[in-house]
Amino acid sequence: MVGEGAGKHAAELYATLEPYHDLKRKMLAALRVGDRRWTLKLRTGTEIMLPDGNIEMALESLTKLEQDRNVLARDFAAIDLRLLDRVTVRMREAAAMPLDDTAPADVPTAATGAAPKGKT
């Protein structure tokens, strides 16, 4: 647990997370943001942004989403639970280049330093 006020509020967060065994097993860290709320960092790299208050309600929403849609196993960069009326997810950025490292013929590359012939 890190961040401004983390030590002061760590016991409270730990008590709140007590019934969420599966989530606790997946957690890597808890980051205190602005000494007002928490972001949970999972071992997969996913960040779960909790609200300032009503953390239990947010965690219940996450539990339901996990049961219904298996959200913690998906490749999300973040799951934002800060608004009570909606959950927002952010996908990880897709790779810009194909896995075989070949660039399409009409895309300039660092090696050529210029646009392909016929393109200006």
Structural domain containing residue 53: 6-91
Residue 38 in domain:
yes
**CATH code of 31's domain:** 3.40.50.11690
pTM, two decimals, is 0.76
Report the number of distinct structural domains present in the chain.
1
Residue 118 in domain:
no
- The angle formed by the CA atoms of residues 30, 94 and 3, to the nearest 5 degrees, is 15
Question: What contacts 24+ positions apart, CB below 8 Å, involve 64-70?
Answer: 66/22
Tens digit of each residue's pLDDT (9 = 90 or more) over 73-111? 999 999 999 998 999 999 988 655 455 555 555 555 555
Tens digit of each residue's pLDDT (9 = 90 or more) over 12-57? 999 999 999 999 999 999 999 999 999 999 999 999 999 999 999 9
